Chain A
Amino acid sequence: MARSYQQRRRRIAWILVAPALLLLALAAGWPLVRTFFFSFTNAMLDNPSEYQMVGLANYYATHDGDSSGVLVDPLWWQAVGNTLWFTVVSVGIELFLGMLLALLMNQNFRGQGLVRTAILVPWAIPTIVSAKMWGWMFHDQYGVVNDLLEKIFGYQAHLAWIAEPSLSMWAVVIADVWKTTPFMALMLLAALQLIPNDLYEAARVDGASAWQRFKRITLPLIMPAMIVALIFRVMDAMRIFDLIFVLTSNSEATMSISGYAREQIISYQDMGMGSAASVLVFMMVAGIAACFIRVSRLNEKEKR
């Protein structure tokens, strides 16, 4: 009886997954397949129906001793460096702050409803608005950030947050951390909710300190949810574009890989190169996500 029940469940499972799969295959499948396809052509944006197949030329090609293609473009590699640095720094800070916030929101205290609402405010403001707002806040002469630095720390240097390439990446990190820490905090909070209170009670009775409770109970139990949140945050951070564009426009020094792809497609009309860059972005992100998933699986196996 058990076996046929399993078989029935398997069939039902496919039916249950079908709507999601259908929607994704139809609506997302077409643009993605198209991107792959165009990366092997020399199509232009204003006339996508006229093109020739050029094989791997958009990725890498040599002729007359001169090489061309995305993989040879130093700007591409600069963008890769910028994006990786940004991802590591930004997601790291967000994880740390998000964890603190989640632990805070998990407590019972007066006014907790207001705190939970307040924490979601950064996520709720449209990015185009918050990006421009941060742009103004980082203005070197009249921005609030420099003003506060002067008023609170007496630091009068009028930092050129947006003009200096190194500072501007930090400005982007600050704006991004502000905006997406709520996302991490919320995900981690939902995970914290699943931990039954009696586990903590038992540990407290056994005399475990707060840090030990955190390390031995909380961390392992929220690890799956934390990894999912990390995967999505990393994927989003790797694809960042609008914050950098609003804060630093088309500067080569701070360009991200998504910005590179967009520049090729939209500014230069070059769908071939732009699609090749997009496919490369996909491959990078897929690789990193696969690593995270592997870590997650190992973690699951360990628990068993």
Chain B
Amino acid sequence: MKKLTLSLITLALAGVSNAAFADTLRMECPISPGGKEYCNYVKDRFEKQTSNKLEFIEFPAASDEKLALLQQLFAAKDEKAVDLFQSDTIWVGLLDKQTLDLTDAVGDMKGDFFPGPWANDTVNGKVKAVPAYLDTGVLYYRKDLLEKYNEQPPKTWEDLTRIATKIQEEERKAGHKNFWGMIFQGKSYEGLTCNALEWIDSYGGGTFIDEKGNVTINNPKAAAALDMVAGWMGKITPKGALGYKEEESRAVFQNGDALFMRNWPYAYLLSQGADSPLKGKVGVAPLPAGPEGKSANALGGWQWSINANTKNKDAAIALLKILTDADSQKMQLKYLGFAPTRSALYEDKAVLEAAPHLTLFKEIFANAVPRPATATKSQYPRVSNAIFNVTFKVLNGSSDGKTAVADLQKRLERVKGKDWH
């Protein structure tokens, strides 16, 4: 009897102590439809593999609100709030101090991922995030209209301008009154910085700030790029484009009122939806090149990061490894429609069968250009703010390319001070 009680007590104690060592990790679950299924899949795997539990929390979709919330939580040094979260591409440098150094844990995975995003997630040689999914700017065009007017998808901006002007004129003559040649996101927000990066880099004008941290924007090529776009306003681009974010610009293209559109890949699936008037009529291409033959598309997407204050580093890293392995990325594609970041998956037959549009995007993803966020660390918001406000001025006619880039150079150097921190 005594032996039984003793063993029972030992068992109970072992059970208790096991429970005591089992931590509850909190992970951010994407709020898109399909998010719950994906998160349950991750939860199953995680809880089977380790003895810890997984809980989910949700953040608002809007990038600004999410960042503000995260920063409040970090300021409060709350380790219970979230252990794993998705960081926007441009936050990696900003959240450098609040994220765990992952170099030792995942450094060996470097070769599996596209080099651009991986480099973006490395701050001062330390890996601070692992790319979760990819996004980049692409050029959408109306296949049917280009065919009708015997044109090929443009390879240079000059081509694009010429084709857009011609087809817009013809379409309007034919009675399509509200037709526009080129649509992009021109509102004063981060998206305009992406667009500006694409124009300026494709002209050979650099990426505003190079990897060493020098401000490189004041050059005639950058000025020429901005002047080109300013020339579109009111002619092949409606002035209202300066008030468009992604959805407002997609509305114009989706309604069939635009020939070209620069947007993120998400618009492609929506344009091929069942009730879409554009089904089968949309083509995707890398953005046109500038006069020197270089094409640039901005890198976007999200990365997984670990809160530096997390209680259980090992469990968190285990979870991160689960989230970023090939199977999870396939599930992510299936449930959420997110493009994978592992380069091998773009050769995988099963993946390409499930999502044939990925073949269109692979080359474009591979060459994505990141914004200078990692180099400018916590001052990136000021940098981006200066960039989009100056660009906005050029586009609405209150400034021209030459003055604007000189002005931007001064502003960025003032922000930099002695060095980026």
Contact = CB atoms under 8 A, between A and B. Distances in A.
A299 interface: no
B381 A45 contact: no
Contacts of B75: 45-48
Interface in A164-191: 164-165, 168
Interface in B69-84: 71-72, 74-75
Interface in A239-267: 248-253, 263, 266-267
Contacts of A250: 188-189, 385, 388-389
A160 B240 contact: yes
B381 A163 contact: no
A142 B238 CA distance: 12
The main secondary structure of chain B at its interface with chain A is: helix
A282 to B, nearest CB: 21
Given A140-B238, A141-B251, A248 B243 contact: yes
Contact of A168 (B241, B243, B381): B243
B68 interface: yes
Interface in B105-141: none
A58 to B, nearest CB: 16
Contacts of B257: 141
Interface string A268-301: 1100000000000000000000000000000000
A59 interface: no
Contact of B68 (A162, A165, A266): A266
B251 A160 contact: no
Contact of B188 (A139, A140, A161, A248): A248
Contacts of B74: 46
A252 B239 contact: no
B68 A140 contact: no
A158 interface: yes
Contacts of B72: 45
B240 A158 contact: yes
A161 B381 CA distance: 26
Contacts of A141: 178, 238, 240, 251-252, 255, 257
A282 B207 CA distance: 40
B367 interface: no
Contacts of A142: 251-252, 255
Interface in A12-56: 44-48
B222 interface: no
B342 interface: no
Contacts of B248: 139
B382 interface: yes
Given A267-B381, A268-B381, A139 B238 contact: no
Contacts of A44: 378
A169 to B, nearest CB: 13
A132 B68 CA distance: 20
B241 A163 contact: yes
B345 interface: no
A46 B189 contact: no
Contacts of B98: 46
B71 A163 contact: no
A162 B97 CA distance: 37
A248 B187 contact: yes
A139 B251 contact: yes
Given A46-B75, A141-B238, A163-B242, A249 B187 contact: yes
B239 A163 contact: yes
Contact of A162 (B71, B243, B252): B243
A271 to B, nearest CB: 9
A45 B396 contact: no
Interface in B207-259: 238-243, 245, 248, 251-252, 255, 257
Interface string B263-302: 0000000000000000000000000000000000000000
7 contacts: A45-B72, A141-B252, A158-B238, A160-B243, A162-B240, A168-B243, A268-B379
Interface of B: 64, 67-68, 71-72, 74-75, 97-98, 178, 186-189, 238-243, 245, 248, 251-252, 255, 257, 378-379, 381-382, 385, 388-389, 392, 396
Pairs A-B, 9 closest by C-beta atoms: A140-B240, A162-B243, A163-B242, A251-B188, A163-B243, A160-B240, A249-B189, A160-B239, A267-B381
